[in-house]
């Protein structure tokens, strides 16, 4: 029996719908955190991309450099090995898929599966094969700092005040882990549902300093929820606050602005041929 002609053998169908489904199938996990790996996949997509520096066009999701030391060991990336390991079987099942595309698509699928907006995403990132291209440490935000720091970090990536607030709304999802960041607790009562609850809580709750030996964080009246100093900065800063109020009262607007800003984050630094529309065509969502 003869095999298929070589040309046909090599023609791999790049089925991103199947990749999306494989990622979606990994999310639910009763034994992990609040029952989903979704939040940590969103954090992985963000930290892979948030190393971008617009001035030098360095860092960003292209390259998937976070697989390598020193980037994998940066304090800001503590805990993300859980997310990278989770995605390994998807990489094994679809060997043609790059890690850089996988880590960004993981965040996109997670947001969508947790009830968030459709995020425009496009394949085409390539992988570096060593840590030589890792950006320097310190490009991700430090939660203990203030609005000036937030602007320094996010303006460097090419974001404006409105986009900073929209992106921060991802903290509707997930929680802090004492052994990763030193902080504890989730931001919202529904940490596996993408919503504007982060903003309604920032607006409506009375936040006070948590009395404990850990780093400064804020707690609500139930003492079950938290805000980081950088989260509080969004309601204290007079330019950020109007966006918090807007997203608290208009979830649709938040979803629309988040989708645009998150898509831009994942696209930052990705080389596209001239005239190619970035992140224009989003493959059909997994069935």
Q: Does the annotation count 187 as an active-site position?
A: yes
Long-range pairs of 167-171 with CB within 8 A, sequence gap ≥ 24: 167/46, 167/258, 167/261, 167/262, 167/265, 168/198, 168/230, 168/231, 168/234, 169/196, 169/198, 169/199, 169/247, 169/254, 169/258, 170/42, 170/46, 170/111, 170/198, 170/258, 170/262, 171/198, 171/231
How far is Cα 97 from Cα 36, in angstroms, rounded to an integer? 24
Q: Per-residue x/- mask for ligand HEM, residues 230 to 249, rule CB under 6 A?
A: x-------------------
How far is Cα 198 from Cα 235, in angstroms, rounded to an integer? 11
CA distances 153 to 5, 96, 141, 159, Å, are 52, 33, 6, 9
Task: Kindly tell me which residue out of 79, 115, 158, 215 binds ligand HEM, with binding defined by CB under 6 A.
Answer: 79
Task: Kindly tell me which residue out of 168, 188, 197, 263 binds ligand HEM, with binding defined by CB under 6 A.
Answer: 168
Task: Kindly tell me which residue out of 87, 143, 157, 165 binds ligand HEM, with binding defined by CB under 6 A.
Answer: 143
- What is the nearest approach in angstroms of ligand HEM to the Cβ of residue 29? 12
- What is the nearest approach in angstroms of ligand HEM to the Cβ of residue 70? 19
Measured from the CB atom, is 94 or 166 closer to ligand HEM?
A: 166
Q: Does the annotation count 47 as an active-site position?
A: yes
Tell me whether strands 185-186 and 175-176 are parallel, antiparallel or unpaired: antiparallel
- What is the nearest approach in angstroms of ligand HEM to the Cβ of residue 244? 13
Which range of residues in 177-185, 206-214, 218-226, 269-277 is near ligand HEM by CB under 6 A?
177-185
CA angle at residue 263 from 75 to 248, to 5 degrees? 85
How far is Cα 72 from Cα 144, in angstroms, rounded to an integer? 21
Q: Per-residue x/- mask for ligand HEM, residues 90 to 129, rule CB under 6 A?
A: ----------------------------------------
Measured from the CB atom, is 15 or 149 closer to ligand HEM?
A: 149
- What is the nearest approach in angstroms of ligand HEM to the Cβ of residue 187? 8
Site size for ligand HEM, by CB under 6 A? 24
Q: Does 141 bind ligand HEM (CB under 6 A)?
A: yes
How far is Cα 255 from Cα 236, in angstroms, rounded to an integer? 23
Which of 46, 47, 121, 171 is catalytic? The answer is 47
Which of 46, 121, 187, 207 is catalytic? The answer is 187
Contact (CB, 8 A) for 40 and 126: no
Catalytic residue numbers read 47, 187
Per CB under 6 A, residues contacting ligand HEM are 39-40, 42-43, 46, 79, 141, 143, 150, 167-168, 170-171, 173-177, 180-181, 183, 228, 230, 262
């Amino acid at each position: 029996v003869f095999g298929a002609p070589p040309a046909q053998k090599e023609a791999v169908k790049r089925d991103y719908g199947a990749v999306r489904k494989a990622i979606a199938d990994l999310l639910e996990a009763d034994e992990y955190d609040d029952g989903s790996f979704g939040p940590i996949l969103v954090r992985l997509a963000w930290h892979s991309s948030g190393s971008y520096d617009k001035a030098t066009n360095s860092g960003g999701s292209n390259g998937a450099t976070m697989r390598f030391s020193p980037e994998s060991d940066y304090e800001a990336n503590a805990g993300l090995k859980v997310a990278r390991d989770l995605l390994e079987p998807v990489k094994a099942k679809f060997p043609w898929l790059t890690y850089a595309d996988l880590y960004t698509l993981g965040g996109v699928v997670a947001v969508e599966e947790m009830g968030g907006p459709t995020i425009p995403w496009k394949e085409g990132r390539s992988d570096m094969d060593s840590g030589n291209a890792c950006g320097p440490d310190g490009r991700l935000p430090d939660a203990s700092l203030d609005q000036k720091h937030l602007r320094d970090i996010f303006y460097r990536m090419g974001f404006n005040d409105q986009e900073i607030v929209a992106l921060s709304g991802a903290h509707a999802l997930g929680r802090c882990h004492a052994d990763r960041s030193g902080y504890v607790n989730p931001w919202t009562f529904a940490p596996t549902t993408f919503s504007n609850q982060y903003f309604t809580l920032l607006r409506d709750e009375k936040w006070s300093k948590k009395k404990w030996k850990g780093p400064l964080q804020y707690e609500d009246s139930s003492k079950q929820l938290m805000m980081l100093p950088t989260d509080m900065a969004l309601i204290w800063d007079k330019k950020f606050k109007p966006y918090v109020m807007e997203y608290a009262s208009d979830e649709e607007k938040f979803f629309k602005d988040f989708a645009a800003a998150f898509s831009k984050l994942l696209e930052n630094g990705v080389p596209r041929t001239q005239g190619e529309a970035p992140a224009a065509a989003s493959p059909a969502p997994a069935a």
